[in-house]
């Protein structure tokens, strides 16, 4: 993602030094915005900046100076007088609504859309968009790589902006509030790293040699959502589209060393847990989680394969219930797994609601109970906890390629959590991504049985262009099975 910094509107002592620090640290886009300035004042500022940085500077006022000093570009705004002549580099502008954005697309090299979050530098200048509106704009290709998010952006929200499909962020308040402190340079470095480094999601799961499920599906999902996937392998399986033939647990000490290698070095922002083959591995994972209490954890309790093979030893479940489940922000069992956890059948929507409430109370966390095994042509997923439940109702997508669907969903949720989305929004977007992967893969023919999803679908593909933007928009002939 591009990182752009806009100057303060006033001229202040030490400004040239601050600008030089930003440019020395690698800033590629410095927007000089001085709305009440004279041409002489802006020119004086330019002359104090080393000429080698001129190809990184964009002017908002007195744009004729951009040609005179061979700057990177000009930014057109309501104060721009007359027609902006041909400019050999870049011309940008600002818009403040999605309607305005749609009208002006294609006329500029890039555009600022604001305010995305509540402004830091302007009191009372509040966010003009909801997360759902921005995600819909992304899916309709209104927001793309040429749109820059402006307004209230911080290092903590850059990953969320990346998920919304923006090509970059423009920052003002979150940079200049640190000027005059010892943290100015380091804070900019944090912003730069956030803009140039996608969030890291760690998958702790078993390997599927056929590539459709397990850690392979997790990596594809995380990468498909523009995040970085790290992995800790807990078991090696011999499996394919026809089923699981063998399971070879990885030694607990090997799992411990993998966890240490990743967590000691990479800036992990969320964890997804899949297959845990035995109690020894479960204890090692629990120890790692307790050492990182701030990380959001999603657990997909892989207990039984689709073909009916049991993938978790009985005593493993006791360790997970006591030491892993309560640590999770979300657990994503399907109906058979919920039935196993409760030792009672979970067969319809009402029993799913009760199961969510019971499991939520037992483990002190949220439960997403997947209804892919419900009879009929409707699917209901239930998200809830102790004494509450939300239903996601939609129609099913007819497909024989559903291998790895649960892995995909839980990993997509973890990726959105890593980007800063709320749990509810992460679940919603995880389901929508999984829907797209199912639909994109429904006509593929890998193997002779239950084939995989396709995680790298393009928004430009016609089949994905028809992708609904909310669960309520699913069409009657679509089938979604988890």
Q: Residue 125: what pLDDT? A: 80
Are the beta carbons of 172 and 153 closer than 8 angstroms? no
Domains with residue ranges and CATH for the chain: 2-196 (3.20.20.70), 200-473 (3.40.1190.20)
Handedness of CA 341, 343, 347, 351 (dihedral sign): negative
pLDDT surpasses 60 at 423: yes
Band the pLDDT of 476: cuts 50, 70, 90. Answer: very low
CA distance 146 to 302: 41
Q: Residue 120: what pLDDT? A: 83
- In sequence order, the 6+-apart residues with CB closer than 8 A to the CB of 473 are none
CA distance 63 to 384: 55
How far is C-alpha 255 from the geometric centre of its chain's CA atoms?
Answer: 26
How far is C-alpha 62 from the geometric centre of its chain's CA atoms?
Answer: 39
Name the DSSP class of 324.
Answer: I
Name the DSSP class of 419.
Answer: T
How far is C-alpha 1 from the geometric centre of its chain's CA atoms?
Answer: 14
Are the beta carbons of 447 and 260 closer than 8 angstroms? no
Which of 168-172, 285-289, 311-315 has the lowest average pLDDT? 311-315
User: Among candidates 252, 258, 321, 323, which has minimal Cα distance to 289?
Assistant: 323
CA distance 267 to 199: 8
In this prediction, residues 384-406 reach a mean pLDDT of 86
User: Among candidates 210, 209, 139, 223, which has minimal Cα distance to 411?
Assistant: 223
Phi/psi of residue 202, nearest 5 degrees:
-100, 125
pLDDT surpasses 80 at 466: no
Which conformational region is residue 189 in: left (phi greater than 0), alpha (psi within -120 to 50 degrees), or beta? alpha
CA distance 332 to 169: 33
Total-model pTM = 0.85
pLDDT surpasses 80 at 121: no
Q: What is the pLDDT of residues 222-272, one digit of tens each?
A: 999 989 999 999 999 999 999 889 999 999 999 999 999 999 999 999 999
């Amino acid at each position: 993602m591009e990182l752009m910094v806009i100057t303060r509107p006033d001229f202040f002592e030490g400004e040239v030094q601050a600008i030089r620090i930003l440019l020395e640290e690698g800033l590629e886009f410095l927007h000089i915005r001085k709305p009440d300035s004279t041409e002489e004042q802006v020119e004086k500022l330019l002359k104090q900046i080393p000429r080698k940085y001129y190809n990184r500077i964009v002017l908002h006022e007195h744009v004729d100076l951009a040609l005179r000093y061979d700057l990177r570009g000009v930014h057109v705004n309501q104060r721009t007088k007359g027609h902006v002549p041909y400019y050999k580099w870049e011309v940008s502008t600002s818009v403040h609504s999605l309607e305005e954005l749609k009208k002006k697309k294609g006329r500029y090299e890039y555009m600022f859309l604001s305010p995305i979050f509540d402004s830091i530098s302007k009191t009372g200048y509040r966010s003009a968009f909801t997360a759902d509106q921005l995600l819909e704009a992304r899916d309709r290709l209104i927001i793309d790589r040429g749109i820059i998010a402006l307004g209230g952006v911080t290092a903590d929200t850059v990953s969320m902006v990346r998920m919304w499909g923006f090509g970059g962020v423009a920052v003002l308040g979150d940079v200049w509030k640190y000027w005059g402190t010892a943290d100015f340079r380091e804070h900019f470095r944090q912003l730069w790293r956030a803009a140039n480094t996608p969030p890291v999601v760690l998958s702790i799961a078993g390997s599927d040699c056929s590539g459709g499920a397990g850690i392979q599906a997790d990596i594809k999902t995380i990468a498909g959502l523009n995040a970085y996937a790290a992995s800790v392998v807990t078991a090696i399986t011999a499996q394919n589209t026809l089923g699981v033939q063998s399971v070879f647990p990885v030694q607990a000490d090997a799992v411990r060393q993998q966890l240490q290698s990743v967590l000691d070095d990479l800036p992990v922002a969320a964890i997804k847990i899949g297959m845990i083959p035995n109690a020894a591995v479960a204890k090692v994972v629990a120890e790692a989680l307790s050492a990182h209490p701030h990380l959001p954890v999603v657990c997909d309790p892989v207990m039984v394969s689709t073909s009916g093979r049991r993938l978790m030893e009985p005593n493993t479940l006791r360790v997970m219930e006591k030491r892993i489940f309560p640590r999770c922000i979300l657990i994503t069992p399907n109906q058979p797994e919920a039935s196993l956890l409760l030792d009672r059948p979970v067969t319809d929507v009402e029993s799913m609601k009760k199961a969510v409430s019971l499991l939520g109370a037992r483990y002190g966390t949220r439960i997403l109970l997947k209804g892919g095994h419900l009879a009929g042509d409707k699917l209901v997923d239930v998200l809830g906890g102790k004494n509450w439940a939300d239903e996601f109702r939609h129609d099913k997508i007819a497909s024989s390629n559903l291998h790895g669907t649960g892995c995909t969903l839980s990993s997509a949720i973890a990726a959105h959590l890593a980007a800063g989305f709320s749990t509810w929004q992460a679940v919603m977007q995880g389901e929508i991504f999984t829907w797209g992967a199912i639909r994109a893969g429904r006509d593929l023919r890998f193997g002779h049985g239950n084939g995989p999803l396709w995680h790298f679908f393009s928004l430009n593909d016609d089949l994905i262009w028809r992708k609904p933007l909310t669960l309520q928009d699913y069409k009657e002939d679509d089938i979604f099975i988890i």
